[in-house]
Amino acid sequence: MMHWNKISRSCMTLPLLMAMPAQALADSTTAISDFEEIIVTAQKRDQSLGDIPLAVSAMTGTDLQAMGVLGSADLARLTPSLALVQTGPGQNTVSIRGVTSSYNLAPTVSVYIDETPLDFRTDARASASDTDFFDVSRVEVLRGPQGTLFGASSLGGTLRIIQNQAVLGEHQLKAEASGSTVKGGGEGYAAKAAVNLPVGETLAVRASVSHQKFPGYTKTVFPVDYFAPSAFDPVTDDENGRNERTFLRLAATWQPSETLKFQPSVIYQKSNVDGYNQSDSNRNKYTYANQFTPEYTDEMVILNLLASKDLGFAELISSSSYVDRDTLSIEDYSALSAKIYADIMGTTDDVPELQTLNYFPVNFESWSQELRLASSGEQRLGWLVGGFFQKVTNDTNQVVESEEFGAFLADLFGIPATSDIIGYYSPIKDRQFAGFADLTYEVTPSVSISAGLRAYDLKQTITITQTGLLAGPFTPTVTSKQSGVNPRANIMYKIDEDAMIYASASKGFRAGGGNAALIAPPDACLFGDAYNPSYGSDTVWNFETGQKATLFEGVLSINSAIYQINWNKIQGLVRSDCGAFIANIGKARVRGIESEIVLKPVDGLALRASFSYNDAEIRSINPEVIGIGVNAGDRVIDVPKTNFSVGADYTHEIKDNLQLFMRAGLQRVGSTPTSYTTDDTRTIRDAYTNVNAALGIGHGPFQLELQGQNLTNSFQVHAINFGGLPVPPDAARYTVASPRMFMLILRYSMN
């Protein structure tokens, strides 16, 4: 408690710093580099980043390129309190401020591409997809619950990726080509291009395309004996985890009048992955055992129509979206069969190969419509009202097959032989209605207060069909209905045009749902008494105070916040000996502090630092699930207490039209438990340090850059035994980041 009080007092001194005379540092500098104003839509209206009483990190496309941020996975090293667990190419679980998600749960961070919500369930096969930032206008990370304006799955915050729109009256062209190599792995390449073309005075089109091959860097070996790993097990693939991704986007802007605008867009993305970036704890680094190479494909289409009408007193905006995503995982479950066989036989000697395949296709389809009306102009009372509808179908089909293991089980139970060990088909249908409103009132030129709420009504229906030798009794259809209100309120005090402090309270929620059946009656399973065909929503309340300041005539920027989050009815995975299911496991509390600092002492030089501290702790346990390994006082899993990064980028004008640029950065991520089984050290993810750097030269429209990632070649574990996938007995399976990698990038840009 004393430690928390010290942090609180330190944070509260920040407003005093903002009141210091700006001239004190300005006089000592030889050149001033003002911060460019960034316009964001974090509150669903155009506002300056410095005028929003929320913790928001925003980076323009130019910023992203300058800092070497190529995609979603790079954001975490620059954004405080943002964590991204990457369990494989294109398979990301995003969390903010210690509010995490896990296997088969809806996300705790809502992800938007432009105006389209992408609320995929995080079941390791259909989680947040990778997004390339080549033709992105800006990225916004909204920290803290955003349930009022962005709805369900915004418990921890919202990640918004805003693409470049077609620009009227301008010809634009940019292109990029790159090659990469990774230590101990393969080679990769990328080719990207974007073009903007005007068609008359009222129409413009924009197209962007990219194709990338990401090098693999893990090895697979054939496990001659799962229970006695050997250095002589034959290598079957020495470049595992290869990933090829194709991206295409077409967009248009049609403005038939000054007050009416239409912006349709279509996105197509496909990834093909051979193997996973995994490593077994009982083998050499970057090596894991499989009887065959896993495969993963991910294909997604996003359609959106954004229409806006200026009514004079307000702007009417309509966003219509359709998303269709298909993923397919083909995985090796042979380790699970080997363990079950050994347990039944009572010995680990002479366990046969028992090759077992897990076939896991998932289809996600979503229709959504939002209509909102926002007040226009500068006035003391600003307002926003809107409505939202979404219909989602999520079809999951899983089959575990093994001829050898099926024959063994059939003989054991005296039943006809089949290769279908267990399978299930589980279509999930979600329907959501919501209405929202938000008001901001300027009490004085320096003081503003805001309040908002969102009323929602949800319905989910899950139908479960089980097949196979191990299929158990089940409830064919489970329907859950939920409704409620998410409020928020804040107050802002502007010290001057460049500094402000604020305080806020906000609520977020994540929808509940239904469970698949266990393979035996619940009363016959360890922890099965906690099983329920459905589980409820979990909610968070966030209480926060913070400050934003640009000081010393644009030399220094400091944005900080201190907060407490109360998390109730946490959705968590309960593992029984008859299968896993979701339950509301208890309550947690997160206390944290975060800060972003940018110093620009002279022209061309920027020094950056970000820091976050999150003390996320389980406070109480649902009595129905006591004994599953979660205890009051445990840390919330996958939440490093400390995370910080420092970096510098410098551009030097050698002569007219010729620039030298360089950057370097260091990120430190603290250790964290990844499972509530606290007596097993294999579930602790160690802290790691990541060092990146780049050097380049620009001449006119061309730019050549040499980039190095993970320069110290540290072994970085992102996840352990993620999703309960079968692992070799008495071992842990790590999902690991790339070893040292170098990339050479050639860019061209014409505006």
For residue range 621-647, list pLDDT tens digits in order: 988 776 667 888 889 988 999 999 999
Residue 66 pLDDT: 86
Residue 281 pLDDT: 86
Q: How far, in Å, CA of 645 to CA of 60, rounded?
A: 19
DSSP codes joined into one string, 485-527: EEEEEEEEEEEETTEEEEEEEEEEEE--EE-PPPSS-GGGSTT
Residue 25 pLDDT: 34
Q: What is the CA radius of gyration of the chain?
A: 26
Residue 682 pLDDT: 63
Say if residue 7's pLDDT is above 70.
no
Instruction: Count other C-beta atoms under 10 Å from residue 660's C-beta.
Output: 14
Say if residue 32's pLDDT is above 50.
no
Say if residue 707's pLDDT is above 90.
yes
Residue 260 pLDDT: 98
Instruction: Specify whether domain 2-750 bears CATH 3.90.79.10.
Output: no
Determine whether 176 is exposed, middle or buried from the number of CB atoms within 10 Å of its CB (0-12, 13-18, 19+). buried
Q: Which residue has better confidence, 441 or 16?
A: 441
Residue 365 pLDDT: 94
Query: To the nearest whole percent, how much of the chain has pLDDT over 90?
Result: 53
Mean pLDDT within 258-276: 95
For the chain, give the mean pLDDT: 86
Of the ranges 258-267, 343-352, 465-474, 511-520, which is most confident? 258-267
524 band by pLDDT with thresholds 50, 70 and 90: low
Say if residue 23's pLDDT is above 50.
no
Say if residue 318's pLDDT is above 70.
yes
Mean pLDDT within 361-375: 95
Mean pLDDT within 592-620: 95
Say if residue 590's pLDDT is above 70.
yes
> Is 676:634 a contact under the CB 8 Å cutoff?
yes
Say if residue 24's pLDDT is above 80.
no
Residue 548 pLDDT: 96
522 band by pLDDT with thresholds 50, 70 and 90: low
Say if residue 14's pLDDT is above 60.
no
Say if residue 566's pLDDT is above 90.
yes
Say if residue 240's pLDDT is above 90.
no
Residue 624 pLDDT: 77
pLDDT digits (tens, 9 = 90+) for 43-84: 888 888 888 999 999 999 988 988 888 887 788 888 999 988
Residue 13 pLDDT: 40
Residue 349 pLDDT: 85
> Is 464:428 a contact under the CB 8 Å cutoff?
no
681 band by pLDDT with thresholds 50, 70 and 90: low
166 band by pLDDT with thresholds 50, 70 and 90: very high
Q: Indicate the range of 12-21, 363-372, 399-408, 500-509 predicted with least confidence.
A: 12-21
pLDDT digits (tens, 9 = 90+) for 666-678: 999 999 888 776 5
pLDDT digits (tens, 9 = 90+) for 197-227: 999 999 999 999 999 999 999 998 888 777 7
Residue 2 pLDDT: 42
Query: To the nearest whole percent, how much of the chain has pLDDT over 70?
Result: 88
21 band by pLDDT with thresholds 50, 70 and 90: very low
| pTM of the entire predicted model | 0.91
Q: Which of 289, 293, 298 is nearest to 274 (CA)?
A: 293
Q: Which of 668, 667, 572 is nearest to 622 (CA)?
A: 572
Residue 227 pLDDT: 79
Sign of CA pseudo-dihedral 715, 76, 563, 546: positive
Residue 659 pLDDT: 95
Q: How far, in Å, CA of 245 to CA of 211, rounded?
A: 6
Q: How far, in Å, CA of 211 to CA of 193, rounded?
A: 10
Chain-centre distance of CA 251, in angstroms? 25
Q: How far, in Å, CA of 643 to CA of 655, rounded?
A: 39
578 band by pLDDT with thresholds 50, 70 and 90: low
CA dihedral 587, 593, 594, 595 (to 10 degrees): 170
Mean pLDDT within 20-29: 35
Residue 684 pLDDT: 85
Q: Which residue has better confidence, 622 or 386?
A: 386
Say if residue 284's pLDDT is above 50.
yes
Q: Which residue has better confidence, 74 or 304?
A: 304
Say if residue 512's pLDDT is above 90.
no
Please state the domain extents for the chain.
2-750
